[in-house]
Amino acid sequence: MEKLKNLWDDNDWLKAIIIIILYLGFAFYLGQFWILLTIIASGIWLFLSRHKSNSKRVLPASILLLSIVTLFIPNPLHHNASQKLKDIPSGLIEIPDIALNNKETAQAYLDKAGIKSTFISVSSEDSGIDPGKVSYDDGQPGVKTFHSSDYKMKDSDDLEESYIKKGETLIVKVADKNLTPASSSNSAPASSTKESAKQDASKSNASNSTSKKDSNLSESEKDQKILDDYTNKIKAATPGLVAEYNSEAASNNSGIDGLATISNAKITKLAEISNEGITKMAEVMLSTGSGSQDTYTVFAGKLTDVYSSEAEKITDAYMASAQ
């Protein structure tokens, strides 16, 4: 022990080496602030020891030199310290963390964030999502994911954040355990007679023919087909809903509030038909390799316009009965 003490007392170079090693540890851990502080301290130390022997000035001189050199060495523990992180581009809305929530909770989060959304049902087995829970594809049109290595995160603990363009619709998958997986095959029941077998074969051929025709259609053509089908459904349902409203309104005993309730119930039925068509358009976009958010938005908007126009007929009936 006495030898070690004498070695330490008599050897300034040993002190310098040990202190330099300790200094490097602190420098790489604490970053540039520590380095600048050390440069100032060692400079003052060197100035105050200017009248001492050179051997007594080895330590502060070594630390000063090392500090200046370290200032220009990239810090592996603070690789982002000297890298200017970019801001998230404007015109985007951060998508809240909705994964593993149920549909109602996810809808509440998205509504709060001001994000339009469409929910589509998918097989729990195919999607790998727990039944009743939701998820979304971050590769869908309009969605962008940013990483903390290049961009400033709102939450410093996040490694990445996903955003969607303002005005775009987020397609959200809802896992349904009752949906048949796409990979499974459905076998047709055996027919008990030759005639029923012929009928089954005819239906199968017709179904296959329709499926082949649909598979050859472009996304726009498929969306147009859905638009035509659901436009007809909405327009066909409207007269009956207006008649239902007028009939129920005639026996209404709850005043204006009662009429409004009846009217909203009929309009909701139209909305359900419209939403079903829009959901099918979303499925087309997701199942088409070159699916376009713009194409989906255009046709979904057209169907929404049809719904709004037909819903006005129910509103007109309400206004007429409320006078």
Give residue for tokens 């259609």: 217
pTM metric for this prediction: 0.43
Q: Which residues are CB-neighbours of 263 under 8 A, at least 6 positions away?
A: 245, 314, 315, 317, 318
Q: Which residue has the higher pLDDT, 19 or 101?
A: 101
Q: What is the mean pLDDT of residues 259-279?
A: 85
**Contact predicate 172/135, CB 8 Å:** yes
Instruction: To the nearest 10°, report the CA torsion of 209, 210, 211, 214.
Output: 130
Query: Distance from first CA to last CA of the chain, Å, rounded?
Result: 106
So what's the pLDDT on residue 25? 64
Residue 274's nearest CA partner among 305, 303, 310 is 303
Q: Residue 119's beta-bridge partner residues?
A: 172
Average pLDDT over residues 252-277: 85
Q: Rounded to an integer, what distance in angstroms lies between the CA atom of residue 196 and that of residue 116? A: 48
Q: Strand (E) positions, the chain?
A: 92-94, 116-123, 134-135, 143-147, 160-165, 169-176
- Cα(80)–Cα(83) distance, integer angstroms: 5
162-188 mean pLDDT? 65
How confident is the prediction for the chain on average, in pLDDT? 75
pLDDT tens figures, 129-152? 888 888 887 766 678 888 888 888
| 72-121 per-position pLDDT tens digit | 766 555 544 445 788 888 888 899 988 888 888 888 888 888 888 777 77
Rounded to 5 degrees, φ, ψ at 118 are -130, 130
Residue 86 or 211, more confident: 86
Burial of 284 (0-12, 13-18, 19+ CB in 10 A): buried
Sorted by sequence, the CB contacts under 8 Å of residue 235 that are 6+ apart come out as 306, 310
Region for residue 125 given its phi and psi (left: phi exceeds 0; alpha: psi -120 to 50; beta: otherwise):
alpha
Residues ≥6 apart with Cβ < 8 Å to 154: 88, 94, 161
Give residue 128's pLDDT band: very low, low, confident or very high (50, 70, 90).
confident
Q: d(Cα 268, Cα 274) in Å, to the nearest integer? A: 10
Cα–Cα distances in Å, from 89 out to 144, 166, 185?
Answer: 10, 12, 46
